[in-house]
Amino acid sequence: MKDFYKERPKNSHKGDFGRLAVIAYEYTGAPALVAMAALRSGVDIVEIIAPKEKASTIASFSPNLIVRPVVFSLENIEKELQRADAFCVGSGLGKDKKVLGIVKKIISKTKKPCAIDADALGVVDKKNLKGKPFVLTPHRKEFEIFGKLIENIEQNKKAVEKAAKNLGVVILLKGPTDIISDGTNTKLNKTGNPYMTKGGTGDVLTGIVGSLLAQGLKPFRAACLGAYISGLAGDAVSKEKGPGLLATDVIEKIPDIIK
Query: Is 160 domain-assigned?
Result: no
Query: Is 40 domain-assigned?
Result: yes
Range of the domain at 30: 19-134+192-254
Select from 90, 189, 182, 98 the least CA-distant residue to 142: 90
Please give the pLDDT value at position 143.
93
Question: What are the backbone dihedrals phi and psi of residue 206, each rounded to the nearest 5 degrees, phi first?
Answer: -60, -40
Asked if 182 and 164 count as a contact pair (C-beta separation under 8 A), the reply is yes
The partner residues of 136 in beta bridges, in order of sequence, read: 116, 171
| Residue 22 parent element (H or E) | strand 19-23
- CATH code of residue 44: 3.40.1190.20
Query: Is 158 domain-assigned?
Result: no
Please give the pLDDT value at position 154.
86
- Report the percentage of the chain scoring pLDDT > 70: 100
Query: Is 231 domain-assigned?
Result: yes
Please give the pLDDT value at position 7.
85
Please give the pLDDT value at position 128.
77
Amino acid at 158: K
Please give the pLDDT value at position 9.
85
- CA 213 vs CA 37, 136, 140, 231, 239: distances in Å: 13, 13, 23, 18, 29
> How many domains are there within the chain?
1
Query: Is 3 domain-assigned?
Result: no
Query: Is 219 domain-assigned?
Result: yes
The partner residues of 19 in beta bridges, in order of sequence, read: 45
pLDDT digits (tens, 9 = 90+) for 99-151: 999 999 999 999 999 999 999 999 998 887 878 999 999 999 999 888 888 77
pTM above 0.75, yes or no: yes
With a cut of 70, which residues of the chain have pLDDT below it?
none
